[in-house]
Amino acid sequence: MPQLNPYPWFMIMMTSWIIILITIMKKTTVYQQMNTITQKHPYKQYPTWTWPW
């Protein structure tokens, strides 16, 4: 049964994955993020209650 022999299809799969990963890595490393990330406060400050009771 030829499907049990891993040599032919395994080498094709590994070669194609290596090519895909190399091209994706080249494209993603060129990408620059345009928006800078700003840190937000860990909690939201609410205004104080000023109504007298």
Degrees to nearest 5, angle at CA 29 with 26 and 25: 40
Give me the amino acid identity at 30: V
pLDDT at 53 > cutoff 90:
no
pLDDT the model gives residue 1: 54
Mean pLDDT of 3-9: 78
Q: Please tell me the least confidently modeled range out of 10-19, 23-32, 35-44.
A: 35-44
pLDDT at 18 > cutoff 90:
yes
Residue-by-residue DSSP string for 1-53 = -GGG-HHHHHHHHHHHHHHHHHHHHHHHHH----SPP-PPPSSPPPPPP----
